[in-house]
Amino acid sequence: MRDLTVTLDGSGLRIGIVAARFNDAVVGQMLDGTRARLLALGVADEDISLAWVAGAFEIPLAARAMATSGDVDAVVCLGCVIRGETPHFDYVAGEAAAGILRVGLDTEVPAVFGVLTTDDMAQAVERAAVDKGDKGADCADAAVELVQLLRRLG
């Protein structure tokens, strides 16, 4: 069996981040975790690009523009959608997920889904906090790993 395991080494990689302003207290925590982990993996601070958008629904279009720019090796998409009393949650979360997936498939630039979809704010805070769930760091790992794997697969 051929082992395709890669090393989490971000040296020389250029990573884009698209972050949603809606629920920005939560997204800000995820952004902190993503940036800290990228730096720890060897990505240079000047090789991290950040674009803000209104909400999770707008993430895919900005991520696609970033992916097709040729300026990044991967795009980390950060947002937070909290369930409410209307079906709005289902539409926004579902379309954000489908759009982010399509960005990666269409451009062949990894687009990492870092949009929290939770039932309440407490769940979102728990998952986003860098000293607890640290989903931002998980997204950084996923981006670096997928870039390295795709390069290895040629």
What pLDDT digit, counting tens, does each position of 4-34 carry? 999 999 999 999 999 999 999 999 999 999 9
Beta sheet of 48-53, edge-to-edge order: 48-53, 15-20, 74-82, 111-118
Please answer whether residues 77 and 63 qualify as being in contact, where contact means their C-beta atoms are separated by less than 8 angstroms: yes
Element (H, E) at 112: strand 111-118
pLDDT tier at 130, thresholds 50, 70, 90:
confident
Q: Which two tokens stand for residue 58?
A: 């707008």
pTM above 0.85, yes or no: yes
88 is catalytic: yes
Question: Domain ranges in the chain?
Answer: 15-153
CATH of 15-153, one of 3.20.20.140, 3.40.50.300, 3.10.129.10, 3.40.50.960: 3.40.50.960
The catalytic position among 61, 71, 88, 106 is 88
